[in-house]
Amino acid sequence: MYLVVLFAAALSASTFALDNGLMRTPPMGWLAWERFRCDIDCEHDPKNCISENLFIDMADRLSEDGWRELGYVLVSIDDCWSSMERDEEGRLQPDPKRFPGGIPKLARYMHDRGLKLGIYGDMGTHTCGGYPGTPLDKIKIDAQTFADWGVDVLKFDGCYSNSTEQEQGYPLMSKALNATGRPIGYSCSWPAYQGGLPPKVNYTQLGLICNLWRNYGDIQDSWDSVLNIVDWFFENQDVVAPAAGPGGWNDPDMLIVGDFGLSMDQSRSQMALWAIMAAPLFMSNDLRTISSGARSILQNQMAISINQDPMGIQGRRIVKENSGIDVFLRPLSNNASALVFFSRRKDMPYRYQTSLRKLNYPTGSYKIFNVFTEKTMMLKDSTDFVVSVNPTGVVMWYVSAPAKMNLHQFYRGARLRGSPYDEKDENNIPQLI
C-alpha cells in the first residue's frame, strides 16, 4: 500500500523544503560532466575542452533548437573549470586561458538568453579532479564569490572530505548561500558519499538544506550503468521516494540520451524512468551533433510534463514480474497517472497482458495516451490488454482518470503485486485523513 504513504509524505515534504523558492519542479538543463569530463586540452581539442566556448555553444543550442521553451534552461559547469590557485584575496578563479571572460560574462550570456548558469564546487580540500576545493573555512567566501558572479545553481561535490566535515559543511554552505541574498539552487552530493541510506543519511535534513541531492554513484555512458541506478532507486523507493517534493529532489544523475551507450529503446527507457522518478533532467551530451532520434526523445512533451508535474510526487515500481517486466506508476495532478511498462528481457518484444483493475485502478473508463507513439485509446479497468515491450525498452502511458474520480481512493486502491515490499506494506497501512 505504499502509494498512500507516498502521497501523505509528499504533502508534508513540501512544508519542509528548503525555503529559497527554487526548483518547485525538477530542474532541467545541461550538465558538462558525463560527456565532457575533465578535458582541458584546448590546444588539441578546442571544440570539446572545458572552456567558456563549450558552455556558450550549449547555450546557443538550448536557445536556438527548441530546448529552452521546453524547460531546459540550466547550463551547468562541472569540475575542472578553475585555476589551480585562488586569487590574492583568497577567492576561487576560473582558468584564465579557458575562461578569459570570467564567470560573470558566462552568467550574463545565459541570463540574456533566458537561461541560467550552474557551477561546481567541492566540500573538501580538493575537487574530485584535483582542483581547489571549498574546505570549511572557505565556505563563506566561495558562496559570496558565486553570488557575486551571478551564478544560479551550485553543485557541491564531496571528494577529499570526511563524514564529520560533510556533516558541518553541507548545512553551512546552505546557510552561506542564503546569506548572500541571491537565490541559488543547491545540489548536494553528500548522500552519495554516505551510501544514500539511513541511518547515515537523513532525508528530512537534506530536504531542509538542499534543492536536490545525488543519492548514488555517477552515471556512465552505458545501459548497465542506467540499469544499476534504476535498480538502486527502486529497490530503495520506500526510503527515497518520500523525500522528493516541490523544492527538493532525488537526483539519479544525468541523462545520457544522445551519447554512445544507449540504443533508442534504452534511451526511451531512461527518459521514461527519470520522468517517473521526478528526477532532474540534466542532459550530458553534445547538443551540436545530437541525432534527431535522441532529440525527439529528450524533447517529448508528454514525458517532460509528466516529469514536471506540479504535485512533485515521485513514482514507484508497483509490479515486478518473474517474466522480467516491471510496472511503474507515478500519481499526477488532475487525478491522472503515468504508467511505465519496462522489460528487462534480452530476447524479443514481450507481450505483457494485464488490466488496469489488476494494477488496482478503480472501476471506470480511462483515456490512455501513449507517450512515445502519441496514440490514444479508451480503456475500461476490467478490460485485459496486451502491451508489447521491446527488450530493455518501455511502453509509457499517460492515464487520464474519469471525471470526479477520488484521488485518495485511487491511491488507497493501488496495491503491489509480486514485489518484495508486499508483506511489509500490508502490515503498515497508514490512514489518510
Ligand X SMILES: *[C@@H]1O[C@H](CO)[C@@H](O)[C@H](O)[C@H]1NC(C)=O
Which range, of 25-33, 200-208, 287-295, 374-382, touches ligand X by CB under 6 A? 200-208
Establish if 144 lies at the interface with ligand X (CB under 6 A): no
Torsion of CA 37, 38, 44, 46, to 10 degrees: 70
Taking residue 270's Cβ as centre, other Cβ atoms within 10 Å add up to: 25
Instruction: For strands 376-380 and 365-370, give the pairing.
Output: antiparallel
Nearer to ligand X by C-beta: 94 or 133?
133
For residues 18 to 47, the per-residue mask of contacts with ligand X, x marking binding by CB under 6 A and - elsewhere, is -xx---------------------------
Rg of the chain over CA atoms, in angstroms? 22
Contacting ligand X (CB under 6 A), which of 43, 85, 164, 375?
A: 164
The distance of closest approach from Cβ of residue 19 to ligand X in the complex, given in angstroms and rounded to an integer, is 4
Q: Taking the alpha carbons of 181, 82, 61, 369 in that order, is the dihedral positive or negative?
A: negative
Determine which one of 218, 221, 422, 425 is catalytic: 218
- Told to judge if 231 belongs to the known catalytic residues of this protein, a careful annotator would answer no
Nearer to ligand X, 96 or 199 (CB): 199
Pick the binder of ligand X from 14, 205, 355, 370 (CB under 6 A): 205
- Counting contacts by CB under 6 A, is residue 14 touching ligand X? no
Query: Residue type for 264, please?
Result: M
As measured in angstroms, the least distance from the Cβ of 58 to ligand X is: 27
Least distance in angstroms from the C-beta of 199 to ligand X: 6
| Burial letters 276-308, b for 16+ CB under 10 A, else e | bbbbbbbbbbbbeebeeebbebbbbebbbbbbb
- What is the nearest approach in angstroms of ligand X to the Cβ of residue 247? 11
In the complex, minimum distance from the CB of residue 158 to ligand X, in angstroms, rounded to a whole number = 13
204 binds ligand X (CB under 6 A): yes
178 forms part of the interface with ligand X (CB under 6 A)? yes
- Residue 94 is given by DSSP the state B
Catalytic residue among 157, 251, 253, 309: 157
157 is catalytic: yes
**DSSP state string for 237-304:** HHHHGGG-BTTBEEE---B-TTSSS--HHHHHHHHHHHHHTT--EEE-S-TTT--HHHHHHHT-HHHH
**Residue 431 within binding range of ligand X, rule CB under 6 A:** no
**Which residue number, 65 or 165, has a Cβ lying nearer to ligand X?**
165
Query: Which residue blocks in 94-199 are alpha helix, DSSP H?
Result: 102-112, 139-149, 163-180, 190-193
> Applying CB under 6 A, does 181 fall inside the site for ligand X?
yes
CA 206 – CA 243 distance, rounded (Å)? 8
Q: Among residues 162 and 334, whose Cβ is nearest to ligand X?
A: 162
Own/partner pairs, 223-227, CB within 8 angstroms, 24+ separation: 223/261, 223/262, 223/263, 223/266, 223/392, 225/256, 225/261, 226/256, 226/262, 226/266, 226/269, 226/270, 227/344, 227/392
Residue 213: alpha-carbon gap to chain centroid: 9
- Complex with ligand X: residue 179 or 386, whichever CB lies closer: 179
Nearer to ligand X, 20 or 228 (CB): 20
Of residues 37, 183, 235, 418, which one binds ligand X by CB under 6 A?
183
Quick check: 168 binds ligand X (CB under 6 A)? no
Q: Smallest gap, in angstroms, from Cβ of residue 93 to ligand X?
A: 24
Q: Active-site residue numbers?
A: 157, 218
Summarize as ranges the residues that interact with ligand X (CB under 6 A).
19-20, 162-165, 178, 181-183, 202, 204-205, 208
